[in-house]
Chain A
């Protein structure tokens, strides 16, 4: 049942949101699969990088699901996930360039996501902009 207060705002999963969710889903699957293979086959080689890969994968999965769902609670989860993602790509990107020795193998967020055409850097920014645009009315008033 659509909330009358939010009915005039587009749902996060409608319109451009569908394209955004599609890209998030690709990263969720790619990051999960990559982290799974890394941890299952050679975790000892680069434990920090692979743990971060797994963390990034979880963030992408949560963001994908939260964006695809309706309701204020999921909207908040989506904001949190995209926020963590933005902080993650900035921090890991910076640390990976400053201390390359700490990252013997690439993660999704290494070098600000340059291994993935910098999409990991752009994606959370677009995600947060879209969440701002679809912000529930009740939250906007406060």
Chain B
């Protein structure tokens, strides 16, 4: 896709994961600042979805179109679904779900790039 933007999304997701991990390590529940951070990450994945769709519409197509779209959509869903599950119980390990949800995003972005470049299965 667009390499520099993918890197931005990955770095943002890793930062959000580390930040969530800090809350877990300190045994604190997520507060507003972290939620704002997660919202920023979510906004980035939405931008990535729009960019991906624009690229598809303007001509370039990966071989595995369905997989590509799947990764784009999954990246958008990961953080809100994970956050909903994490915030529905106030416990340390429930907060740790946020770390997992944030770490899913870089994996999806890397796979997205592989599918776009036509490398990897």
Contacts and interface: CB of A to CB of B under 8 A. Distances in A.
A29 B74 contact: yes
Nearest to A20: B93
Contacts of B94: 15, 18-19
Interface string A1-33: 000000000000011111101110110010001
Interface residues of B, number: 18
Interface residues of A, number: 18
Nearest to A13: B89
B91 interface: yes
Contacts of B89: 14-15, 18
Interface stretch (B31-39, B47-55, B63-71): B63-71
Contacts of A21: 85
B67 A37 contact: yes
Interface of B: 64, 66-67, 70, 74, 82, 85-86, 89, 91, 93-94, 96-97, 100-101, 104, 121
Nearest to B73: A33
B37 to A, nearest CB: 19
Interface of A: 14-19, 21-23, 25-26, 29, 33, 37, 40-41, 105-106
Nearest to B100: A22
B74 A15 contact: no
Given A105-B121, A106-B121, A18 B66 contact: no
